Amino acid sequence: MKTKRIFALLLALMMVLSLAACAKQSASDDGAASAAADFPKEDINMYIGYGAGGGSDLLARALGKDIDLGDHVMVCTNLTGGSGTIAMMECWNAEPDGYSMNLCLPESFAVQVLNGSMEKDVFDKLIFLASPVYDVNTLSVRSDAQWQTLDELISYAQENPGKLTIAGVGSGVNKLWAVEIMQKLGIELKYVPYDDSNSTRAALLGGQVDLLLCQACESKPYYDSKDITVLAACADETVSFMSDVKTFKELGYEIVSGIHRGFAVTPDTPEEIVRDLEARVKAVYDNPEFQTYMHEQLGFNTVWTGHDDYEALAAKCLEDFPALIEAASNY
């Protein structure tokens, strides 16, 4: 009899705890739904980890100009340094309420995880929101350089191993892509890292380096002004605003690389707010004027990668880059 009473008490306690948990979850769900319904109630901060005038900065500010936040605005702030991680951590450490965003480059962040300069837990918990553009890499020389075709460059570089220099931003993912080009073309170049894209372009035009590896949005202004010759694009197909530039694939080399520039939000941001922000970014992407500006003014390929696919893409970067990191260790 005593055992039955104890069992009954335990059963009753379990029921009470279960009901309390359900009530707590219901209150939490109601709170999240209420927060999403009222969102946004204030301005949203966009933290950009790259310099003013570069592709990431211009994309973030284009979104900030066009996104519909009702009576509120997006405040863009450049926090450079750490290959974008200073700005990313500002967002990462913010309140998980949707009012902090980060202009993110998952390819770059993944390399930092793999080389030990970023904690994997930081990468895994960051919420990759969406990407409206895919920015392919390009290989360029000055318009007065003695090599004006890829074949001419390869011939010279093979005859003079290690003599030519190539500029890129940082010693992370851009160096990996430069090494991939060297390996697949069968040439040896000296990689020279710079702090930002403006510095790399100035170095090329000023004659401090011989070649430049950068994204198409960053080579476009100098391609348009004919200050540089783009030898090849690391794309699956011809870049629309560089119609006379061959892709590496068209020239016989399997080299495809680039950056899915996009946006991230603070870990643990409620799903309802994540989806709300994703929809607002998608509305900007769908605007024909935004598409035209991306193509004609900034030199971006507009390719929509929604939240679920962007999360999957970020995870895949961790799988794809180790082989390149191993190869780059010899340079």
* 256-305 pLDDT, tens digit each: 999 999 999 999 999 999 999 999 999 999 999 999 999 888 889 899 99
Q: Which two tokens stand for residue 43?
A: 């301005």
The answer to whether 218 touches 201, Cβ cutoff 8 Å, is: yes
Q: Which residues contact 166 (CB under 8 A, 6 or more apart)?
A: 178, 189, 190, 191, 192, 209, 210, 211, 212, 213
Half-sphere exposure of 53 (CA within 13 A, CB side): 8
Listed residue (82, 42, 44, 38) closest to 60, CA to CA: 44
Inter-CA distances, 139 with 198, 231, 321, Å: 16, 6, 20
CB atoms within 10 A of CB 275: 14
Q: Point out the residues of the chain with pLDDT beneath 70.
A: 1-35
pLDDT of residue 330: 78
pLDDT per position as a tens digit, 114-143 = 999 999 999 999 999 999 999 999 999 999
pLDDT of residue 34: 58
pLDDT of residue 10: 47
Where are the CATH 3.40.190.150 domain residues in the chain? Answer: 41-134+259-328
The CATH code of the domain at 135-258 is 3.40.190.10
pTM across the whole model: 0.82
The answer to whether 111 touches 37, Cβ cutoff 8 Å, is: no
pLDDT of residue 31: 52
| Alpha helices in 192-287, H assignment, sequence order | 197-205, 216-224, 271-285
pLDDT of residue 7: 47
CA 245 and chain centroid, separation:
24
Listed residue (226, 169, 158, 219) closest to 192, CA to CA: 169
pLDDT of residue 19: 47
pLDDT of residue 52: 87
Q: Which residues contact 320 (CB under 8 A, 6 or more apart)?
A: none
DSSP-derived 3-state class of residue 312 = helix
The CATH code of the domain at 41-134+259-328 is 3.40.190.150
Where are the CATH 3.40.190.10 domain residues in the chain? Answer: 135-258
